[in-house]
Amino acid sequence: MQQSEIIVVGGGLVGAAIAYGAARAGAAVTLLDQGDIAHRASRGNFGLVWVQSKGAGFPRYARWSRDAVAYWPELAKELLDLTGVDVALENAGGFWIGFSDAEVQARGAMLAKISDAIGGVPYEMLDHRELKARLPAIGPKVAGGSFCPLDGHANPLKLLHALHAGLMARGSRIVSSVDIATVARRGDRREFEAISTDGRRWRAARIVLAAGLSNRELAPQVGLHAPVSPNRGQVLITERLKPFLPYPTNKARQTHEGTVQLGSSVEDVGLDDGTTVPAIESLARRAIATFPVLSSARLVRAWGALRVMTPDGAPIYQESSSHPGAFVATSHSGVSLAAAHAYALGPWMAGFAKEPEDFAEFAGERYLDPARSFSNAH
Amino acid sequence: MHTETADRQAALFASEEAIGPNTVRIQFEDRTLCVREGTTVAAALLLNGAGPLRTTPVKSTPRAPYCMMGVCFECLVSVDGKPSRQACLTTVRDGMVIKRQHGASALDLSDEGDRHGL
Amino acid sequence: MASEVDLIVVGAGPGGLAAAIEARKWGLSVTLLDEQAAPGGQIYRAVDSSTARMRAVLGEDYAAGALLTQEFMRSGANHVCGASVWNVGRDRKVNYLHGGCNKVVEGRHIVLATGAMERPFPIPGWTLPGVMSAGAAQILYKSAGALPTAPVVLAGGGPLLYLLASQYLNAGVKLAAVVHTTGTGDYLRAAAHLPTALRGWRDLRKGIRMLQHLRGHKVPVYAGSSDFSIEGTDRAEAVCFTCKGRTHRIETPLVLLHQGVVPNTQLSWSLRADHVWNEAQLCWVPRTDDYGQIDDSGIYIVGDSRGIVGAKASASQGRLAAIEIASKQGKLDPAQRAGQEGAVRKQLRANLHVRPFLDALYRPLDSHRIPAQESVVVCRCEEVTAGQIRGYVAVGCQGPNQTKAFGRCGMGPCQGRLCGLTVTELIADGRGVPPGEVGYYRIRPPIKPVTLGELAGEAS
C-alpha cells in the first residue's frame, strides 16, 4: 500500500508526458507502467511532429495541435538539459505528398478550411515542379503536395526514454511490470486506489488513466467513457542511407540516423500487431512512387503496431464529474502533442492549474451523441 | 594472380587451386583482379589483399568479412553501383565493378526520374 | 500468384536434403529453396565440385556428404538454388528472392532446415579486419581452395576448432597456435555424461584422433586458456590470453575464433514460435513436437536450427519430419510408417549419444559470452558496447526489445544474429535473473534483406 499525490496509470508517451508535466509543476508522482509486456503503442508512433491537417472539422483540436507543436522545441531542450537525451527534433517544416490533381485539390480545400476556422495555420500548396524544387528526390508520379513550416519530426523512442529519465531526475517514482486491472475511489475519502492483477495497491488523491487500449475497461470504473480501439499500422524501415531527404513527409521520413521510415497502413485487425506481405509490398511500391531512388535501398525490418484510436481520431481529455480527481487521457499523437501533455495537462491534472479552455469538447461523452457520426480517417 | 598494385595489403589467404581456363576479370577500386569462375566476391577480395571492405556508418570503423555465410553483414560492398551487397553471397561475374562502402549506403541520386513502368 | 506444392523445404544442409529425399520417396511434390548455388549447406558446401585433394584435406565425413547431395539431385525435387527466403508465414506461404525477382510459393507443409551459425565471440578486438570465425575459414577452403598465407592462430573451443586445425595440418598450413578454453573443470563437468557418450564411441574416437594429430605435428596448444583479446588499430595484429597463470601474446594478422555453433532461429522467432532457453547449450531453441512441428502450424523445424545435434542427427530429424508429413498427406499407411520411423529413430538416438558430453565439455566461458570489459562491442552493426548495454539495465531496461528506447542495439542489418544471445545474457546478468526470463529480440520480416525495388516487383 503506497501513497502519493498523483498516480498516472500507463507509462507510454501520453502517460509519461503528463506525469512529467505534473512532476515539473511540483507534484509527487507515481507512474505505473506495464513495461515490456505492454502493447506499447508508443513504439509504433511514426515520429511526426505535425500540425497540418490536424483537426479538420474539429477546430479545438486543430488549435491544440498547433499550440502543442509551438512548445515542442522548449520541451526538447528542457529534456536534453535535464537528462542528456537528445530526442532529435527537427522542425523546419514538413510535406504532404499527393498522387493526383484531385487529391491535391481536396487537400488544399481542407487546409484552407482548418486555417480559416482557427485563424492561421501557415501552409503552401505546391504543384509537381514547385515540390521538386524543394524535394529533388520526388518522382514523376507525384502530382503535388502541401508544405507547412510548423511541421517536423523527432525520435519517439528517445522521447519516451527522455520522459522516463526526466521523471526520475525530478524524483518521481516509476514502477514497471505492473498491470492495473482495477481503479476505485476509497470510501468517501477523496482518494483513489489502483490495484494490479497481482494484488499490489497504490493510493493518491488524484489518478490519471493513460493506459492506452486498457483505458476502455478502466475509464468506466471512475465514471468516464473512453471507447478506444486498436488500429494497426504497418511500417517499413530501411538500412541507414546517406542523407537525401531533408524534411519529413506524411508517409516517409529519413531519421536522424539515416534510416528511412515508410508508412503506414490503417487496418482493423483487433490486437494483431503482425505484418502482412501485401502491406509490405504496397508500402514499398508507394515509397518508390514517391522517391524512385529508394528502389535500391534495402529493407531491414517491417513492423506493425496498434494505434490507440478513438472514433473520431481526436483525443479524449476529461476529469470525471462523478469521481472528481480522476482523469482520462488518450491520443494517438503522443509525439506531436507531447509538449501540450506535459505543460498543460500535467499541471491541470495534478491540481496546479485550471482546466484548459473549451476542454469540454474533448469529453468522452461526445461519442454518445446520437446526432453525430465519426470517422477517424487518417 | 595478376593484379595491378595500388593500396595492397599482404593477402591473408591464397588459393591452392590454379585459376584455370575459366577466369573472370573484376574491378576492385582501381585494381583489376583475375579470379577463378565461381568464387564469391568476398573470397576474391581476401585472396587479393583487399584489406577492409567498408567503414561503418556509426564510427567509420574498418570492417572485413567475418562469417563468410551471410549472417554477419560485415562484407558489405557496392557491386555494379548497387550499395550494401553482401560480398560472401555474390559470385564474381566478368566485368563486375566492386567498390568499398564508406559509411551508410549511398543512393544513386542521378538515377531518379528514370524510373518507369511501376 | 502462389503455386502450391506438397512440401516446401528451406535449406539444403543435411536436415533439408534428408527431408526432401524422404518426402520424394513417398511421392510428395517437393520444392527446396536454398541460398547457395549447390546443395550441401555449410557443412557439405561445394562437395559435389570438390577435388580429390580437398576431400583428403577435409576428411571422410565431408566427402560422405556427397552421397546425400547426389541422392537429392536424383530425387526429382524441384531445387531452387540462389533463393533468399525473406519471409515464411503461418499461411504456409514462403516469400523469396530469386534472380532479383520477388517470388512466392505455398506449401501444404513446410520444413525449415536453416541450420546453425557460429556463436558470437564478444572479446576486445573481435571486430577487427583479420578476425574471422573458424567456420568462415572452412567455407573459404571449401568454396575457393583458400588457405592462410601466414601462420594462423585458432582460438576458442569446441570440436570444430580442432577439426579445422586438423584439416589445416592435412593441407600443410602452418599453425602458430591453438588456444582453447577447455580445462580440468570442463572435463570434470563432462565426466557425468561420459557413459552415454561412450555409446557414441566413434564420435569420441574422432575427437581423440584430431587431438593426437595436433600433438603429432607439435602445434603449440594452450589448454585451459581464458581472457582472450585481440590487439590492433585498423586490423588484427596479435592475440593475447592467459594460460596457466601467465599472459601470452602471439603476433598474427589472422585470428580464427570459434566457441561452438548455435541454432539459426530467425525464422522460428519471426513465426512467433515459443522458444525455451537451453542452459546446456546456452541458446534459445524453438518449442516443437517430437517431429519438429511448431504448434499446429504445419511448419516443421529440423536439424541444428532446432537445437545443435550435428549433421547426422539433422538428417534423421529431416527424415522423421518427412515421414510425419507424408503420413498426414495420406501417402503412407501406419504399417509402412512404423517400420520406417523405427529405423530412423534408432539412427537418431545413436547420433545423439555424444551430444550432452560435448555440450558439457566444450561449454564456452562465461567471460567470453558475457563481456566484463565495458568497451567490448556487442552489437557490431551499430557499435553498441557491453558497457552501454549494462548502462541501459541500470536505468531500468528489462529486456532486449526495450534496448531500442536507449540506443540502436539490434537494429542494424544483421537484426540480432551476432548480438542477440549476448544481449539476452548481459541483461540477465545485470538483472540477476535467468536468460529465459529476459527473452529475445522480436524478429520481424524480412529475414534477409530485400530492396524496396525487389519488393515492388521491379525486375533488376
The residues near B26 (Cβ < 8 Å, ≥ 6 apart) are B32, B33, B35, B41, B44, B92, B93, B94, B95, B96, B97, B98
- Judge: C139–B69 Cβ closer than 8 Å, yes or no: yes
- Mean pLDDT for the stretch of residues B82-105: 96
Before C446, cis peptide (omega within 30)?
A: yes
Whether B100 contacts chain C with CB within 8 A: no
- Name the nearest CA neighbour of C304 among C131, C165, C101, C119: C119
State the pLDDT at residue C174.
94
State the Cα–Cα distance between residues A88 and C427, nearest whole angstrom: 27
Angstrom CA distances, B14 to B1, C138, C141, stand at 10, 13, 10
State the pLDDT at residue C211.
84
Nearest residue in A to B109, CA atom: A293
Place of cell 582460438: C155
CB-CB neighbours of B21 under 10 Å:
7
Neighbouring chains of B at 3+ CB pairs under 8 Å are A, C
In angstroms, the first-to-last Cα distance of chain C is 20
- Mean pLDDT for the stretch of residues A316-337: 97
State the pLDDT at residue B49.
95
Question: Residues C211-215: contacts with CB within 8 Å, 24+ apart?
Answer: C211/C162, C213/C165, C213/C166, C213/C169, C214/C162, C214/C165, C214/C166, C214/C169, C214/C175, C214/C178
pLDDT at B118 exceeding the cut of 80:
no
- Mean pLDDT for the stretch of residues A167-194: 91
Whether B113 contacts chain A with CB within 8 A: yes
Strand-pair partners of C240: C229, C249
Identify the CATH assignment for A229-309 out of 3.40.640.10, 3.30.9.10, 3.30.460.10, 1.10.1200.10: 3.30.9.10
- Judge: A275–C453 Cβ closer than 8 Å, yes or no: no
Percent residues over pLDDT 90 in chain A: 91
Per-residue pLDDT of chain C (460 residues; tens, 9 = 90+): 566 999 999 999 999 999 999 999 999 999 999 999 999 999 999 999 999 999 999 999 999 999 999 999 999 999 999 999 999 999 999 999 999 999 999 999 999 999 999 999 999 999 999 999 999 999 999 999 999 999 899 999 999 999 999 999 999 999 999 999 999 999 999 999 998 888 888 888 888 888 889 889 989 999 999 999 999 999 999 999 999 999 999 999 999 999 999 999 999 999 999 999 999 999 999 999 999 999 999 999 999 999 999 999 999 999 999 999 999 999 998 998 998 999 999 999 999 999 999 999 999 999 999 999 999 999 999 999 999 999 999 888 889 998 988 899 999 999 999 999 999 999 999 999 999 999 999 999 999 999 999 999 986 5
Which residues of chain C are within 8 Å of residue B93 when distances are taken between CB atoms?
none
Domains of chain C: 3-117+262-332 (3.50.50.60), 120-259 (3.50.50.60), 370-438 (1.10.10)
Which residues of chain A are within 8 Å of residue B118 when distances are taken between CB atoms?
141, 285, 288-289
- Judge: C414–B84 Cβ closer than 8 Å, yes or no: no
Whether A292 contacts chain B with CB within 8 A: yes
In the predicted model, what is the mean pLDDT of chain A? 95
Percent residues over pLDDT 70 in chain A: 98
Candidates B89, B115, B116: best to mutate against A (most CBs of A within 10 A) is B115
State the Cα–Cα distance between residues A122 and A133, nearest whole angstrom: 19
Q: State the complex-level ipTM.
A: 0.95
pLDDT at B1 exceeding the cut of 70:
no
State the pLDDT at residue A144.
98
Domains of chain B: 23-103 (3.10.20.440)
pLDDT at B113 exceeding the cut of 50:
no
Helix (H, G, I), strand (E, B) or coil at B114: coil
Chains B, C: CB pairs < 8 Å: 121
State the pLDDT at residue C200.
82
C181 and C241 Cβ atoms separated by less than 8 Å: no
State the pLDDT at residue B5.
39
Domain boundaries, given as residue ranges, for chain A: 2-83+156-228+312-368, 94-149, 229-309
State the Cα–Cα distance between residues A119 and A123, nearest whole angstrom: 12
Maximum Cα–Cα distance across chain B: 48
Nearest residue in B to C409, CA atom: B58
CB-CB neighbours of A123 under 10 Å:
23
Whether A161 contacts chain C with CB within 8 A: yes
Whether A162 contacts chain C with CB within 8 A: no
Q: Where are the alpha helices (DSSP H) in C109-222?
A: 134-144, 159-171, 184-191, 194-198, 201-216
pLDDT at B100 exceeding the cut of 50:
yes
pLDDT at A3 exceeding the cut of 90:
no
pLDDT at B6 exceeding the cut of 50:
no
Distance from CA of A140 to the nearest CA of B (A): 6
State the pLDDT at residue A308.
96
C248 and C241 Cβ atoms separated by less than 8 Å: yes
DSSP B80-92: TTEEEEEGGG-B-
Whether A139 contacts chain B with CB within 8 A: yes
- Judge: C131–B66 Cβ closer than 8 Å, yes or no: yes
- Judge: B14–C144 Cβ closer than 8 Å, yes or no: no
Distance from CA of C141 to the nearest CA of B (A): 8
State the pLDDT at residue C133.
98
Distance from CA of B63 to the nearest CA of A (A): 16
Read off the pLDDT of residues A353-378 as tens digits, 9 standing for 90 and up: 999 999 999 999 999 998 888 888 65
Which among A157, A176, A295 is the nearest to C453, CB-wise?
Answer: A295
Check: pTM over 0.90? Answer yes or no: yes
Which residues of chain A are within 8 Å of residue B70 when distances are taken between CB atoms?
none
Distance from CA of B85 to the nearest CA of C (A): 10
State the Cα–Cα distance between residues A35 and A44, nearest whole angstrom: 15
How buried is residue A82: exposed, middle or buried, by Cβ count under 10 Å (0-12/13-18/19+)? middle
- Judge: C413–A300 Cβ closer than 8 Å, yes or no: yes
Distance from CA of B17 to the nearest CA of C (A): 6
pLDDT at B4 exceeding the cut of 80:
no
Helix (H, G, I), strand (E, B) or coil at C59: coil
User: What CATH number should be reported for the domain whose range is A2-83+156-228+312-368?
Assistant: 3.50.50.60
- Judge: B72–C417 Cβ closer than 8 Å, yes or no: yes
C144 and B40 Cβ atoms separated by less than 8 Å: yes
Could you say which residues from 359 to 418 on chain C have a Cβ atom under 8 Å away from some Cβ of chain B? 380-383, 412-414, 417-418
pLDDT at A1 exceeding the cut of 60:
no
Range name among A116-130, A240-254, A332-346, C393-407 with the lowest pLDDT average: C393-407
Taken in order C48, C52, C58, C62, the sign of the CA dihedral is positive
- Mean pLDDT for the stretch of residues B106-118: 54
Confidence bin at A2 (pLDDT 50/70/90): low
- Mean pLDDT for the stretch of residues B29-37: 95
How buried is residue A49: exposed, middle or buried, by Cβ count under 10 Å (0-12/13-18/19+)? buried
